[in-house]
Amino acid sequence: MHIPLLIDISNFQLRNLLEKIEVDRAIEALTPSELLKLQKSAAFWVRVRGLTAYNRTADDLLSEGLLRTLIGTEDAQNGRHWKEGIDFELHLKETMRSISDSWRRQSEKEAHHILELPIPDADVQEHSVLENLASPEAAADRSLIAKEKVARIFRMFTDDTEATQVLQGWYDGLKPNEIRQKYGLDEKQFAAAVKRIRKKTMSRRNGSGGGEEHGI
Amino acid sequence: MAYRTSLDGQQRILDHLAESVFELSDEEILAEVRESGVDPEQEAERTRLVLRQASKAFDDVNNHLSKLGHSINFHDWRSGQGSYHNNCLNCGSSVSFTTATGEMRGEALGGSCPENGYATKKREASR
């Protein structure tokens, strides 16, 4: 006998529910190599954004990427929306990159707050901590740190001309074919240089996310 | 080789490095993980578990709050120290959960939302 089932649910709730089911199915459909790439990518962003100093881990970033996606299924205005036609793996990859940058900015702000919090003094007019955040000094600090990080990456390849050329090309915003053309590299040389850069900067040691031994 | 530096240039290098991971073939990524002394299969399944747990924890806490009549703004989930925090929009009571263990805490889980009679009404209606 066919018994009709009445469900007290709006179209909006039903759509959210279906999207949530789709996300769960996508998790199960990820292949081992896709999962490993996501894990490696999460570890990389946590490391290079300096987030380990704030007790953030690769697993935290993976979880956050997924939660922001789930929030996106519940709330059309917020969270990260997994757009149709985009592979789930690629969606998570981009989401983690964006979150890691947001965490870095947030961590820097918090650290700055702690450093710059004025000592309460009834006789002295306190300045807003927000003034300090936007100060030219803070921007200069960030620029110096970035310069040092780039310098470290280049120093790792002082004896590798092709890797240095690829890095310089990336740095200048050139496309792969433009880099090859500019420095006279064939496809194999280019691919091999990229592989050396990746292995050296993202190598995993003692369970770390990579790049740590080189101080990136 | 001399090089110039800027924030954008650094970001471009990092983006290319991150992207290069996704350009690896299945065999290459498996081999790289194996080279680092980690079992790729185990590591892959551990990663899947992290995602599953996050999804389940999110589901559990939202279902629990909904049954108790609490309303939360999904965008307001804040992460910190491995857990996520939020407050009921009606009564202000707090709630938190951890994705790793699925553990839920907070006043909001202690009972129905006092500002919303929905949960109580539903129970009465079913009698």
> Same domain, yes or no, for A111 and A207?
no
Summarised one tens digit per residue, pLDDT across range A159-211 is 999 999 999 999 999 999 999 999 999 999 999 999 899 888 876 543 344 44
Task: Answer yes or no: do B3 and A154 touch at CB < 8 A.
Answer: yes
* Residue after which a domain boundary falls, among A101, A134, A167: A134
Please give the residue of chain B at the shortest CA–CA distance from A16.
B59
A124 inside domain: no
| Whole-angstrom distance, CA of residue A135 vs CA of residue A140 | 9
Among A92, A120, A206, A13, residue whose Cα is nearest residue B55: A92
Give the pLDDT band (50/70/90) at residue A73: confident
Residue type, A109: K
B14 inside domain: no
Summarised one tens digit per residue, pLDDT across range B68-123 is 999 888 778 887 767 889 999 989 999 999 887 888 999 999 889 887 765 444 44
Is A61 near chain B, with CB under 8 Å? Answer: no
Give the pLDDT band (50/70/90) at residue A134: very low
A210 inside domain: yes
Q: What is the pLDDT of residue A7?
A: 58
Contact B96, B86 (CB under 8 A): yes
Residue A105 has pLDDT above 60, yes or no: yes
Alpha-carbon A46 to chain mean position = 7
Give the pLDDT band (50/70/90) at residue A81: confident
Is A15 near chain B, with CB under 8 Å? Answer: no
Please give the residue of chain A at the shortest CA–CA distance from B11.
A171
> Same domain, yes or no, for A73 and A14?
yes
Please give the residue of chain A at the shortest CA–CA distance from B45.
A32
> Same domain, yes or no, for A169 and A111?
no
Q: What is the pLDDT of residue A201?
A: 83
By the 10 Å C-beta count (0-12 exposed, 13-18 middle, 19+ buried), A41 is classed as buried
pTM score of the predicted model: 0.77
Residues from chain B that touch A55, judged by Cβ atoms under 8 A, are 81-82
Is A73 near chain B, with CB under 8 Å? Answer: no
A2 inside domain: no
A1 inside domain: no
Q: What is the pLDDT of residue B32?
A: 87
Task: Considering only the beta carbons, identify the residue of A63, A150, A201 that sits closest to B5.
Answer: A150
- Domain holding B69, by residue range, is 42-127
Q: Please give the tally of structural domains in chain A.
A: 2
> Same domain, yes or no, for A89 and A143?
no
Q: Please give the tally of structural domains in chain B.
A: 1
- Domain holding A185, by residue range, is 136-216
Residue B125 has pLDDT above 90, yes or no: no
Task: Considering only the beta carbons, identify the residue of A28, A78, A146 that sits closest to B7.
Answer: A146
